Amino acid sequence: MNMARNSAMKAPTPPDKGSFPLDHDKECTEAMNAYIQCLASNQNQSRQCAELSKFYLQCRMDKGLMAKDDISTFGYDEIKQSNIVEPPPKTKEPMIAGLRRKN
């Protein structure tokens, strides 16, 4: 029995910022690699790399790889105002939501 036929199908919605084509000509590769290296050296904490992320998105807009938009609409002001929370230290014991760790 096909269960999908009986369930309500939701129509797909396009991304909020429009299409995001691939950078076939590698016009923003340098900015992308700088951002990826920043993430790798900061335990994937994107807040630490916000300026590089902003530079990468600006490059994509300048090269026509995404719709032009005011960079302030991407939430970077909120990132600056937010508190940085350090990730918990790595332990071998499993983390269970709602339970405190032993000290």
State residue 26's pLDDT score.
93
State residue 87's pLDDT score.
67
State residue 19's pLDDT score.
62
State residue 76's pLDDT score.
83
State residue 57's pLDDT score.
92
**Taking a C-beta distance cutoff of 8 angstroms, is the pair 4, 25 a contact?**
no
**Among candidate residues 31, 30, 35, 17, the one with its CA nearest the CA of residue 75:** 17
pLDDT mean by block of 10 residues, the chain; 103 residues:
60 68 90 95 89 93 88 82 71 74 65
pTM (predicted TM-score): 0.62
